[in-house]
Amino acid sequence: MKITKDTTLEQFITGYGLQNKDYMIDPMSEIDINLLGDETYQEELCKITHGKNFRQLTLEEISRMAPDWKLAPMQAGLQFFADRMEKGKVFYDIWDDERKNVTGLTAFPAEKKSRFVLICPGGGYLNVCSIAEGFPLAMEMNRLGYAAFVLQYRTAEYAQQPAPQEDAARAVQFIMEHADEFHVETDGYAVMGFSAGGHLAASWGTESLGWKKYGLPRPAAMMLGYPVITMGEKTHADSRARLLGEEHVRDEKLRNLYSVEQQITGKYPPSFIWQCAADATVPIENTRLLVRSLEEKNVPHVYEVFPGPSHGWGLGTGTAAEGWVERAVKFWEEV
């Protein structure tokens, strides 16, 4: 299939017979205009969507609806995905439990045996935005010679902790169990995450919530783009409510446990972190809190801050963050 700016996710899903895996492609079953921005922005969105579901929008319309989701990487990432599906198996279920059948991995092994990166796209723990923060990043990691796996973790009504963390653990375990099939090395892996997926990734780096708790190897590096970090005052409120559960958001003990900055030890993996200074979705204080904790524990890290209010750049093509993946990979290779 040739992916163009006029391709819709519905065309992609039906063209490849993926109706039973549509949740791996389509990040939202419907668009609730009332939840998005102010009245002026809502009016503009109504003009773009014309009452269509998200999967009925063209990639160009999606990029207009969410301007930080750049058209070029979305189109290239979906083409990359399509090309891989035409060559062989891409989707993998990670759980046998049918109650967890809204999860899975999309696997993109490299041409040669390599280390791997697990990618956790964002979505406010409401959905998993792989078309913007998953497939384009997997494409870039493959270009740089590394295997990449995009994680579809539990969200929305299934998102309450520790479900997403369990999915991350199972994903790492699954990749290692199938290391020969995927042609990957089982040590030295990295974890990448964005926004709420950045919180999931960052929590995997902690001993209390992640790798050590689940008896799995520590990641060699973290790559975090505009992540939710704290469950405290400066959190992304919707992410916190979905992860902790509405009835638990005032539970100080639970908030502290899932505030990554409070769980950092000297064993936290070296980290590459970036965010826009005036991020309009996740306050910049999130990455500042994380960086302060890393400094206190002498954890190697790189912190890049870019001007403006943007949130959702993903690969960063055509933005001030362009090239960040190459810089993060170099950091990973050198730590």
Q: For the chain, what are the domain ranges?
A: 1-67, 69-334
The confidence score (pLDDT) of residue 96 equals 85
Which CATH superfamily includes the segment(s) 69-334? Alpha/Beta hydrolase fold, catalytic domain (3.40.50.1820)
Antiparallel, parallel or unpaired: β 221-225 and 190-194? parallel
Contact in structure between 68 and 310 (CB atoms under 8 Å):
yes
pTM of the model: 0.94
- The span from the CA of 237 to the CA of 17, in Å, is 37
What are the tokens at 224? 């975090």
Name the DSSP letter for residue 35: G
Low pLDDT (below 70) residues in the chain: 29-51, 98-100
The confidence score (pLDDT) of residue 46 equals 58
Amino acid at 190: A
- Looking at residue 275, its pLDDT comes to 98
Residue 116, beta-bridge partner list: 147
Q: Residue type at 60?
A: E
| CB distance 288 to 297 below 8 Å | no
Length of the chain in terms of residues written: 335
CA distance 144 to 315: 13
Nearest to 219 by CA among 269, 148, 169, 272: 269
Decide: 273 and 290 in contact? Cβ < 8 Å: yes
The whole-number pLDDT of residue 40 equals: 54
What does the pLDDT read at residue 123? 93
Q: What is the pLDDT of residue 35?
A: 46
Question: Which segments of the chain does DSSP mark as H helices, in order?
Answer: 9-15, 39-49, 59-65, 71-87, 130-133, 135-143, 163-177, 179-182, 195-204, 237-244, 252-257, 285-296, 324-334
Secondary element (H or E) of residue 91 = strand 91-92
Eight-class DSSP state of 255 = H
Q: How far is Cα of residue 37 from the mean position of the Cα atoms in its chain?
A: 22
